[in-house]
Amino acid sequence: MSETILIVGGSSGMGLCLARSLMADGARVVIAGRCADRLRRAADALADVGDVRTIAADIAREDDVIRLFAACGDLDHIVSTAADIEGAYELLPALDVAAARKVVDSKFIGPLLLAKHGAPRLAEKGSITFTSGIAAYRPAARGSVVAGVNGALESLAYALAIELAPIRVNVVSPGWVDTPIWKQVAGDEASARLNDMAKRLPVGRIGHAADIADGIRFLMRNGFATGSVLHLDGGHRLV
């Protein structure tokens, strides 16, 4: 019997790559996100591997999350790669608190609500996987909000792994990965900054969406992994 997996933030980048990989294995995949147009484009992009179900929902809104899980029904795994960081990478004097709250909503409150309302829908041996990031370990000027929220998300996962057991709760922490979100971080300098980082990393390259998708799949499948943070950063924490 094939599994049913919900991917929040699956309309682009790492989430979309994960959806393709799981569908190729025969899994039933549901993609959720805020933008109906992006969800339609994602469904079109995945048409060659099968039909994907899409649901428009804002995971920072509890009523949306309740509606999302009512529509999904029973699930085997929940994954969230959602992140709204637009406007959040600023030095403190220029930081818009509204932009900071969007990061908190998408990367902390949203995952908390997914766990609250999703856990009752999960199979006993199911899992929840969140996505944090290297900013929690290698913070930089302009990145205080993202660093703080990534760290908080990992602490949340530790606590949920205890509270929701035997459901497993884990986190993937990507390093610098070439996905569309980098345009929000670095704008026109994105390519140059990625190339510079590739030269610094022990692996000699920037991450790809498939690298992170592989890590999420590992955490979903490994029944002995819970309360874990899987670092997929090319050795960034070491340099």
Q: Active site includes 155?
A: no
CA dihedral 178, 179, 181, 185 (to 10 degrees): 10
What end-to-end distance do the CA atoms of the chain give, in Å? 44
| Cα–Cα dist 15/29, whole Å | 11
What H or E segment, with its residue span, contains residue 112? helix 110-118
Distance of CA 34 to the CA centre of its chain: 14
DSSP 140-179: -TT-HHHHHHHHHHHHHHHHHHHHTTTSEEEEEEE-SB-S
| Cα–Cα dist 135/81, whole Å | 15
Q: Which of 132, 144, 173, 228 is catalytic?
A: 132
**Which residues participate in catalysis according to the annotation?**
132
